[in-house]
């Protein structure tokens, strides 16, 4: 099974992991028969990496935190002796309920961070200090100095946090511009994955290239509760404990914050991800003031517009946009007149081609600001003006009073919708939205699916759907048939 974790990976054919202060060796590549790169090129490359190591490395810190988690267990004797224990011995089906027992677990977490302000402000990942004991955050600099850290602000959605230390003569990094990145560009990952384990505060340096841009981890187990969009992918090794460390260009400027890897072994395999520094700059402006980061919100469920869908909705070949799969009642979008089936093609004059672009631009728009949104509806372009709302902190607040079951919402399947979506089904209900990470999502259900059978009972319309769903127990696994076949939606365990 493919593992995903908060760490990084490398491609062995390209990467070099070195201790700072050591000489970096470059492989001399053969060019044709007897031809090689000049030794001066290798020397220049060595000097470039050594310079970055010396200038940036002194600002990279090790962070240790003690995280706490409370778990419950043993809430009934039936769990200890079996469900039929009381009925068998006492003739009573009732089980006396005991007060749940709780246990608080404490465990250390290792991470990295960068000093970006000489006043002692350090940027790291939120998951490094999540639920951390405020008195158990320790920051260690490469020069051996050790400080107690205080969390100034954190934002779980972006997975970024700021820790403050009190010290003098603190070296600070410079931020670059992640919008200037190109695939194939050299990048350098710096962090301290095993600094405390090795009792050595000196960070490590790995070299690679930008493998891809605008990557998304949303919809994966790693992306639950996060907004991992527009990520930088690199093959520079990002190991465990590198979370929060910088991804740097050859000029020594930070262009990303290392956050995660995809790996089959849990170690470095060449698929690492970093949060673009331009995203971090936007979040930092609020966190450094101790303010909570607020995100703009439309109140729609969206999906990617495939070429087939674009054709069905009457768009010209190659035209880009984002399809609205549903509109939440009383949301900013509903009040502005958006409808299911609208295709968003632009916001404030900026063309929108992907769901990531739309979510980013709306999320960074100030709450209360009125923006113009270009849409495509019924073969015509229109412009709607919407007043951006504040994104609710909890997913259940987004669905308001709309009915939701096992993480999905359904709607009436009309002839018009079936025709637009190219569906042959005439009976059933149409899945309009599926929450990421929900039981329905894990079962493979997606927007656009048609449910026509639940637990071997035919579903002809919304009335029969809700009649069947209301009789299903929370812990019951449910057999569902859609236009894609059968699937099993797990119950609450």
Query: Is 80 exceeded by the pLDDT of residue 391?
Result: yes
Give the mean pLDDT of 180-195.
Answer: 86
Give residue-wise pLDDT tens across range 130-152: 888 888 898 999 988 999 999 99
Give residue-wise pLDDT tens across range 30-73: 222 233 334 445 557 678 888 888 899 999 999 988 887 765 55
Give the mean pLDDT of 239-262.
Answer: 89
C-beta of residue 44 within 8 angstroms of C-beta of residue 36 = no
Give residue-wise pLDDT tens across range 256-267: 999 887 776 666
pLDDT of residue 315: 85
The 10 Å CB-count burial string (b at 16+, else e) for 174-203 is ebbebeebeeeebbbbbbbbbbbeeebbbb
Query: Is 80 exceeded by the pLDDT of residue 386?
Result: yes
Selecting among 127, 268, 342, 432, the annotated active-site residue is 127
pTM of the entire predicted model: 0.66
pLDDT of residue 204: 86
Selecting among 155, 159, 235, 342, the annotated active-site residue is 159
432 classed as catalytic: no
pLDDT of residue 378: 87
Rg (CA), the chain: 26
pLDDT of residue 394: 56
Residue 262 and residue 471: Cα distance in Å, rounded?
Answer: 40
Query: What is the average pLDDT score of the chain?
Result: 79
Number of neighbours of residue 155 by Cβ within 10 angstroms = 20
- The H or E element spanning position 387 is strand 380-387
372 classed as catalytic: no
127 classed as catalytic: yes
Q: Which distant-in-sequence residues (6+ apart) come within 8 Å of 245 by Cβ?
A: 60, 112, 113, 114, 189, 190, 191, 192, 203, 238, 257, 258
Query: Is 80 exceeded by the pLDDT of residue 210?
Result: yes
pLDDT of residue 188: 92
pLDDT of residue 242: 84
Query: Is 50 exceeded by the pLDDT of residue 399?
Result: no
Give residue-wise pLDDT tens across range 79-103: 444 444 444 444 444 444 445 566 7
Give the mean pLDDT of 313-333.
Answer: 86
Q: Which distant-in-sequence residues (6+ apart) come within 8 Å of 304 by Cβ?
A: 322, 323, 354, 355
Per the listing, tokens 């149409």 go with 430
pLDDT of residue 26: 26
Q: Rounded to a whole number, what is the largest CA-CA distance in the chain?
A: 91
Confidence of residue 468 (pLDDT cuts 50, 70, 90): very high
Selecting among 112, 154, 243, 432, the annotated active-site residue is 243
Give the mean pLDDT of 211-234.
Answer: 78
- The H or E element spanning position 104 is strand 101-117
Give residue-wise pLDDT tens across range 331-378: 999 999 999 889 999 999 999 998 888 988 999 999 999 999 999 998
Confidence of residue 219 (pLDDT cuts 50, 70, 90): low
């Amino acid at each position: 099974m493919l593992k995903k974790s908060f760490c990084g990976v490398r491609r062995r054919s390209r990467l070099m992991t070195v201790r700072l202060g050591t000489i970096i060796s470059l492989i001399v590549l053969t060019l044709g028969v007897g031809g090689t790169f000049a030794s001066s090129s290798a020397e220049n490359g060595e000097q470039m990496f050594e310079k970055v190591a010396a200038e940036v490395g002194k600002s990279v810190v090790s962070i240790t935190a003690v995280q706490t988690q409370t778990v419950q267990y043993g809430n009934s004797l039936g769990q200890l002796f079996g469900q039929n224990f009381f009925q068998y011995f006492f003739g009573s089906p009732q089980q006396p309920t005991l007060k749940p027992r709780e246990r608080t677990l404490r465990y250390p977490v290792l991470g990295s961070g960068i000093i970006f302000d000489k006043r002692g402000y350090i940027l790291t990942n939120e998951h490094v200090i999540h639920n951390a004991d405020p008195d158990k955050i320790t920051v260690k600099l490469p020069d051996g100095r050790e400080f107690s850290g205080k969390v100034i602000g954190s934002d779980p959605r972006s997975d970024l946090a700021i820790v403050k230390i009190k010290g003098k003569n603190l070296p600070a990094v410079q931020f670059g511009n992640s919008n200037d990145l190109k695939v194939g560009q050299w990048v350098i990952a710096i962090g301290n994955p095993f600094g405390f384990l090795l009792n050595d505060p000196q960070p490590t340096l790995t070299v690679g290239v930008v493998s891809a841009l605008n990557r998304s981890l949303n919809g994966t187990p790693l992306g639950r509760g996060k907004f991992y969009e527009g990520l930088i992918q690199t093959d520079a090794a990002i190991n465990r404990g590198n979370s929060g460390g910088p991804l740097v260009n050859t000029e020594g400027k930070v262009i990303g914050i290392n956050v995660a890897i995809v790996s089959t072994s849990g170690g470095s395999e060449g698929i690492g991800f970093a949060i673009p520094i331009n995203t971090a700059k936007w979040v930092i402006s609020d966190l450094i003031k101790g303010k909570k980061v607020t995100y703009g919100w439309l109140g729609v469920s969206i999906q990617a517009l495939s070429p087939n869908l674009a054709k069905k909705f009457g768009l010209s070949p190659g035209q880009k946009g984002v399809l609205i799969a549903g509109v939440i009642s009383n949301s900013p979008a509903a009040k502005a007149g958006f409808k299911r089936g609208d295709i968003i093609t632009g916001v404030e004059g900026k063309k929108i081609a992907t769901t990531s672009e739309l979510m980013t631009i709306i999320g960074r728009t100030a709450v209360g600001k009125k923006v113009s949104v270009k849409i495509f509806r019924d073969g015509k372009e229109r412009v709607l003006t919407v007043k951006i709302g504040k994104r609710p902190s909890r997913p259940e607040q987004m669905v308001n009073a709309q009915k939701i079951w096992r993480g999905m919402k359904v709607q009436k399947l009309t002839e018009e919708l079936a025709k637009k979506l190219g569906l042959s089904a005439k009976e059933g209900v149409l899945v309009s939205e599926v929450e990421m990470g929900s039981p329905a999502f894990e079962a493979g259900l997606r927007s656009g699916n048609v449910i026509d059978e639940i637990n071997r009972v035919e579903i002809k319309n919304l009335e029969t759907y809700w009649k069947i769903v209301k009789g299903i127990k929370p812990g019951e696994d449910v057999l569902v048939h859609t236009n894609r076949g059968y699937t099993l939606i797990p119950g609450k365990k």
